[in-house]
């Protein structure tokens, strides 16, 4: 059962990693059952994809697919599209 006092809290830029599994996963109704953002393309200077309209998208990366490095943030437009800068020279995969 969810404590009503724990709903609606923003947790941002949290790096969850080094635990042998994916760092952040939305399962079993997490995040009010909003779908996780989808990455459409990741290049050396930008990451683009989609999420719910107006939703904030945070991009994390690392070689272990656990999100140890915060890369940037953006807000999806009214159609759900968003793009975030990916620092040039970042060695970590998105």
Q: What are 35-72's pLDDT values in tens digits?
A: 788 888 887 778 888 988 998 888 888 777 777 888 88
What are the backbone dihedrals phi and psi of residue 10, each rounded to the nearest 5 degrees, phi first?
-90, 130
Average pLDDT of the chain is: 76
Contacts of 43 (CB under 8 A, 6+ apart): 86
> What pLDDT does residue 2 have?
55
Let me know how many helices (H) and strands (E) the chain has, helices first: 0, 5
pLDDT of 8 over the 80 cut: no
Task: Report yes or no: 42 and 84 within 8 Å, Cβ to Cβ.
Answer: no
Q: How confident is the model at residue 78 (pLDDT cuts 50, 70, 90)?
A: very high
């Amino acid at each position: 059962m969810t404590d009503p006092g724990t709903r609606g809290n923003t947790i941002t830029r949290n790096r969850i990693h080094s635990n042998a599994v994916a760092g952040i996963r939305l399962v079993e109704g997490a995040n009010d059952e909003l779908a996780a953002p989808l990455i459409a393309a990741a290049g050396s200077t930008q990451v683009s994809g989609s999420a719910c309209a107006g939703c904030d998208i945070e991009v994390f990366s690392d070689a272990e697919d656990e999100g140890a490095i915060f890369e940037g943030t953006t807000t999806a437009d009214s159609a759900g599209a968003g793009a975030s800068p990916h620092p040039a020279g970042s060695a970590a995969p998105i």
